[in-house]
Structure 1
Amino acid sequence: MIRVENFAKNWERDGAALAVYYKGKPVVDLWGGFADLASERKWKEDTMSIAFSSTKAVGALCIALLIDRGNLQFNEKLVNFWPEFGKYGKDVITVEMIMAHTAGLAHLDEPITFEDAQNHERMSEIIENQKPHWNPGEKTGYHAVAYGWIVDQIVRRVDPKKRSIGTFFREEIAVPNDIEFYIGLPLEMAHRVARLSRTTPWQRFDEILSNPKAIDYMHIANDMINKGFLYKMGQNPTWLQSVFKMTLNNPDLYTLEQPAALGIGTARAMAKLFDLLMKGKIVSPEMVKKLSIPFKCDFDIVTGVTLPRGHGLTYVSEIRGNDTFTLIGHAGLGGQNVRYDVENQLSFGYLSNGLKNGFGNSARTYVPLKNAIYDSIVKFRESDSSSSTLQ
């Protein structure tokens, strides 16, 4: 089993979980290692972990559901329901610009305290007073954390019940479908969350040697030296850190309703959620089709990569022989990933608390898992094709 090899090679330093749904059924549900290596607390069946930016895919479903119900439109300007947002030329920004990271709001300049983050009215003011970093719609640049606070504000304004995104997700999607994933975890459940660990300098070097193309290190170094977007994102908020120091093991942070970075749940829940999406159980079949088509594919001036984006999701091609499949979803810091493939009726979630160098799509633990999944899919397709020919 390829996942056991990840542990055997010491690529998984702590713990991890992988879940796969295929043609509407759970076919893989694995977990192992340690939820907290220092205390030797093992990763259990009900262990949860922070999904980082894979949470963006979950937040995207909340927006899609509101649009499906007629409460919102992708091409609608935010000033239609949030007039105060329109300062400094932001009046032209649409919902899709936010979801596709073209709005020019890659980070927020005003220092954000933890108390600010707990106060949605204060966050509204900070966002309203933010000037775009480029003309909205003209460039693509990853809105790593700001995205989450903006999406929460959108939901609060267009939901008929004026709920926060965490409450909306819980009441409309998670609870009705028995999905154990939270945008804002109840503090009494914090003991089930895996403890995160950063890579040591040697581990980072080892990852670079084994997969030098996992990250554009020159782009990151240049950004840090010149205090670019990535640098500024890492400076604010100071209490939300996972690269140069680790603050995300503070249970108080788990309670924040931050759909860009702080979703918490199980890999099983992530795989199940997007299986239900493909079945039309979350949004309409028409919306599922709309979500399967990216909004645009541009060079990202923040991350330095070109990647199809749209509707809060990213789109990655998996080429197998003459076939090209599209994996829709979102990767997260340290290797996290959630993906679904409509053509193959496939969905999977992967979570790990020992953070890796590569972003989700290139992390050296994720890549062999994804490859093993598609090796199996190809065999299933060939088997189905042979059976059809014989009939």
Structure 2
Amino acid sequence: MQFRGRVSSHSSSENFDEASPTGGYVAEGFEPVAHAFQASILSGEALGAACTIIHHGETLVDLHGGWKDTSRSNRWNESDIALVYSLTKGLTGMAAAVAVSRGLFSYDEPVADIWPEFAAHGKGAVTVGEALSEQAGLAAIDFKLTLDNIGDEEAICAAIAAQKPNWTPGDYSGNHAYTLGWIASELIHRRDPAGRRLPQFFAEEIAGPLGQDVFVGLPDTFDRSRIARIDGFGMADLFIHHTTMPWPLTFEMCLPETLAFRTLNNPLVLAGPGALDNEAFWRVGQGAAGGMASARGLAALYYAFAEGGEKLGVTPEVMATLSKGHSYPCKGLKDQVLTADMYYSYGFEKPFSEWEYARTHSAFGSFAVGGSLAFCDPEDGLAYAWITNKLGTGKWDDPREKLVRDAFYACLENRS
């Protein structure tokens, strides 16, 4: 059924109701998902958003709506993309899974066997799996990042290798807000016969073969008019419009000596995540926060994993590893940066007792600052992506996104 402000059996998905600038498609029986999606657009809680959900090969939801920028003169169209921040980590996790499946390295291999300089300051025993599961203690680095040097992977990776860890590796995990991407890129670069870094490897081995508008490093040829611009928030908004962000994290992000500040404000320095939505950052291909994607593209990539990974050459052994998840840190799940529990695993986040975002624990995906979420659930045969360009001030379970996800699962249960 086409959807344009109301569920309809006719008319193009690109025909918008003037009073309700939303469009797209929902399968019969999933009309409540369209209404939930529309609610955040009509309320103004979301400037623009898009959502695509695929289940057992059927696209049950494909919605888009709202506006591409704060002028509210350019509507969000079905194939538009946006900066997706930490949803990029899931893309990096996909690239690592392909690299492991190709035999470039293994999850159990010490990083230092691939990258000898990484062994500095007691990091010699850290495995690839631990590093990708954000347990290596490299959330904050002393290297001062700027938009001018953030593309200098050689210098940044040298700084990461020489960095004293923020905690004893393996004891804890913590949000490697930027460093995860560079660590994965260096591992791929050192073992790939062609010497590719993450942006090229991802484009040629994942997004390209699947024909999807998902980028880690936006090419010059991409039409910039198809980019939905970010409406961000500043530090004051975390207090004025506080929602589900842990209060300890909110305060620590204002104190320069804390791990949260050193991790999350390098290179932002209190400007807020919206400051990254610029041409220079789009081009860089930062593998933890710089991805550009459509909801359709994200769902298609995750569905390749939901159906077993064969299209990308991901082996059954790697799929089983991703579905099972990495072992917890020795001292529990409390994220040393975000100050709340989080289960990081091989570049993704997994469901756990405090955040059951999918129906089964085989799921893996990533959430992002501002509320976006993308994941697959191999046991359930499901791929899900919800993205927005108006950044909320919560952690996971953004109310705008969760309303859609809850409506979808309720409809799915009724259909079963």
Q: 5 Å matches for 1:184-195? A: 184-189=217-222, 190-195=224-229
Aligned residue for 2:254, secondary structure, equals helix
Give the AA of the match of 1:263: G
How far is the alpha carbon of 1:21 from its aligned partner?
0.4
Match of 1:276 among 301, 304, 322: 304
Matched, 1:343 2:348: no
Check the 8 A contact 1:19/1:26 in 2, yes or no.
Answer: yes
Q: Distance in 1 between matches of 2:255 and 2:148?
A: 30
The 8 Å contact of residues 220 and 230 in structure 1, kept in 2 or not, is answered as no
Q: Residue in 1 aligned with 2:123? A: 90
What letter corresponds to residue 284 of structure 1 in structure 2? T
Q: Distance in 1 between matches of 2:92 and 2:164?
A: 24
The one-letter code of the counterpart of 2:347 is G
Match of 2:245 in 1: 215
Matched residue type, 1:196: I
Instruction: Give the structure 2 partner of residue 261 of structure 1.
Output: 289
Aligned to 1:187, the other structure's residue is in SS state coil
Query: Structure 1 residue 312 and structure 2 residue 340: aligned?
Result: no
Partner secondary structure for residue 290 of structure 1? helix
Match of 1:197 among 211, 231, 239: 231
Structure 2: give runs of 5+ residues left out of the alignment.
Answer: 1-34
Aligned-pair Cα RMSD in Å = 2.3
Distance 1:163 1:252 in 2: 21
| 1:16-66 deviation line (CA, Å, top 9, x unaligned) | 000010111222111111111226111112210011101101100111111
Q: Could you tell me whether the CA contact under 8 Å between 1:317 and 1:324 is conserved in 2? A: no
CA contact (8 A) 2:343 2:352 kept: no
Q: How many angstroms apart in 1 are the aligned matches of 2:375 and 2:305?
A: 11
Q: 2:83, 2:277 within 8 Å by CA — same for their partners in 1?
A: no
Q: Distance in 1 between matches of 2:236 and 2:134?
A: 34
TM-superposed CA distance for 1:238, in Å, is 4.1
CA distance in structure 2 between the aligned counterparts of 1:204 and 1:223, rounded to whole angstroms: 10
1:289 to 303, 316, 320: 320
Does the CA-based 8 Å contact 1:254-1:262 persist in structure 2?
yes
1:30 aligns with 2:67: no
**Would the alpha carbon gap of residues 223 and 186 (structure 1) be closer, same or farther in structure 2, given more than 3 Å must change?**
closer
**Structure 1: distance between partners of 2:37 and 2:230:** 19
Distance in 1, Cα, partners of 2:238 & 2:157: 38
Q: Kindly tell me the number of residue pairs found equivalent between the two proteins.
A: 370
CA distance in 2, matches of 1:314, 1:124: 23
Select 2:335's aligned residue among 290, 296, 300: 300
Contact 2:86 2:177 survives alignment (8 Å): yes
Asked whether the equivalents of residues 43 and 194 of structure 1 are also in contact (C-alpha less than 8 Å), the reply is: yes
The one-character-per-residue Cα deviations of 1:274-309 (angstroms, maximum 9, x if unpaired) are: 111122222123322210112134221211122222
Unaligned runs of 5+ in 1: 382-391
- CA change 1:131–1:169 in 2 (3 A) is same
Question: Partner residue of 1:65?
Answer: 98
Equivalent pair of 2:234/2:270 in contact (CA under 8 Å): no
Distance (whole Å) between structure 1 residues aligned to residue 381 and residue 130 of structure 2: 29
Identity of aligned residues (%): 27
Whole-Å separation in 2 of the counterparts to 1:220 and 1:9: 26
Once the two structures are TM-superposed, the CA of residue 355 in structure 1 deviates from its matched residue by: 0.5
TM-score, L = length of structure 2: 0.83
Give CA deviations for 1:102-147 in whole Å, capped at 9, x if unaligned.
1010111121233432222222222222111112112211111111
Counterpart code for 1:101? E
8 Å Cα contact 1:183-1:262 kept in structure 2: yes
**Which residue does 1:379 correspond to in 2?**
414
How many Å separate the matches in 2 of 1:375 and 1:185? 37
Which of 20, 23, 47 in structure 1 is aligned with 2:53?
20
Shift in Å, 1:217: 1.7
1:174-220 Cα distance to aligned partner (Å, 9 max, x none) = 11111210000013423321111124799767854xxx5x2212343
Secondary structure of 1:112 counterpart: coil
Q: CA separation in 2, counterparts of 1:371 and 1:318?
A: 17
Match of residue 367 from structure 1: 402
1:235 aligned to 251, 261, 265, which one? 265
Q: Could you tell me whether the CA contact under 8 Å between 2:268 and 2:275 is conserved in 1?
A: no
Equivalences for residues 135-174 of structure 1 within 5 A: 135-174=168-207
Deviation larger for 117-126 or 368-377: 117-126
When residues 43 and 268 of structure 1 are mapped into structure 2, their CA distance, relative to the original with a 3 A threshold, is same
* Selected match of 2:279 from 251, 258, 263: 251
SS at match of 1:330: strand
Q: Against the structure 1 CA distance between its residues 151 and 197, is the aligned structure 2 distance closer, same or farther, given a 3 Å change threshold? A: same
> Which amino acid in the other structure matches residue 116 of structure 2?
P
Name the residue aligned to 2:158.
125
Q: Does the CA contact (< 8 Å) of 2:235 and 2:272 recur in 1?
A: no
In the TM superposition, residue 159 of structure 1 has moved relative to its aligned partner by: 1.4
> CA 1:41 to 1:202, structure 2 compared with 1: closer, same or farther past 3 Å?
farther
Change (3 A) 1:7 1:318: farther
1:296–1:308: 8 Å Cα contact kept in structure 2? Answer: no
Kindly state the Cα deviation for residue 240 of structure 1 after the two structures are TM-superposed.
9.8
Higher helix share: 1
Tell me if the contact between 2:371 and 2:391 (Cα under 8 Å) persists in the aligned partners: yes
| CA displacement 1:217-268 (0-9 Å, x = unmatched) | 234314534731111123322489534xx32232111001211001001000
SS of residue in 2 equivalent to 1:305 = coil
Quick one: structure 1 residues 15 and 357, their matched pair in 2 at CA, closer, same or farther if it must change by over 3 Å? same
Matching residue's letter, 1:343: E
